[in-house]
Amino acid sequence: TAEGTLIDGTGKGDGSSEVLKSNGWRWVPSLMSWYIPRSRDHAPKTALLKRTAAQLLDAGFDVEISIDSTRRDLAQIEHDRAEHLKDRAERLTSRAQRATACGDTAYERGREIAAHIPPGRPILIGRHSEGRHRRELAKIDQAHTAAAAAWSEADELERKAAAAAVGIQARFNPVTVSRRITALGVKQRKLSRAIAGYSNHLGDTFSPTRGEYKTRLEEELQNIAE
């Protein structure tokens, strides 16, 4: 579904987090809920849901599973994905600019301290200036270390921003699309065989699927066709 797979009714310290974490759920502060990663606009992971529910029941929780397999319009999904990548690129670029500014500030702070020390001046061991000189050198080192760390962070953020900026274009690259179509075609044929039943090259025969499993495979087949 559009929201993905969420869980309601849990509370901090109630013991549910241990079960949820062990099954791959992640806490999303913006949603104030536990969430299964990459579940948005994908078919529900029923096996994971049943396993989680069973473990929560064993832990003394009351559990109710509600599944809505309705899919959003694919054009809307692609539009939202593009907007998400655009927003991500803008956020990362802004963070990169702030990190660069922090690095520049730290570097200038080190330069200002160094400006008060004559070039090549040694530490005068035993003199009253020794302690101050060592502290100044330590501050310069700390400032330059902080600058290097900030600039390194800025470089990484700029790399991620660039990747997000080209992400949607890369998704619609003809070669990428062709490979995705081929992969979907393979999965489509595999699901069709599983639903109808088939025999493999070793002579093993597999009966047609039935019941809930068949329904789930048919829904996935329809999603692939779309």
Task: State how far the Cα of 86 lies from the Cα of 30, in Å rounded to an integer.
Answer: 19
pLDDT score recorded for residue 2? 65
Phi, psi torsion values for 188, nearest 5 degrees: -60, -45
**What ranges make up the beta strands (E) of the chain?**
6-7, 26-28, 33-35, 198-199, 205-206
Task: State how far the Cα of 99 lies from the Cα of 93, in Å rounded to an integer.
Answer: 10
Q: Side chain identity at 214, as an amino acid letter?
A: K
Task: State how far the Cα of 111 lies from the Cα of 136, in Å rounded to an integer.
Answer: 11
Q: Side chain identity at 91, as an amino acid letter?
A: R
Task: State how far the Cα of 18 lies from the Cα of 5, in Å rounded to an integer.
Answer: 18
pLDDT score recorded for residue 78? 80
Q: Mind listing the pLDDT tens digit of every residue in the chain (226 residues)?
A: 667 888 888 877 788 889 999 999 998 887 788 889 888 877 778 888 899 999 999 999 999 888 877 777 778 888 888 888 889 999 999 999 999 999 999 999 999 999 888 777 787 888 877 888 888 889 999 999 999 999 999 999 999 999 988 887 787 788 988 998 999 999 999 999 999 988 888 888 888 998 888 888 888 888 888 8
pTM strictly above 0.85 = no
SS3 66: coil
pLDDT score recorded for residue 213? 85
**Buried (b) or exposed (e) across 72-109, using 16+ Cβ within 10 A?**
eeeeeeeeeeeeebeebbeebbebbeebbebbeebbeb
CB neighbours of 44 closer than 8 A, spacing ≥ 6? 5, 67, 69
What order do you get walking across the sheet with 26-28 strand by strand? 6-7, 33-35, 26-28
Cα–Cα distances in angstroms (integers) from residue 82 to residues 88, 155, 180, in the given order: 10, 23, 18
pLDDT score recorded for residue 70? 74
Q: Is 36 exposed, middle or buried (0-12, 13-18, 19+ CB in 10 A)?
A: buried
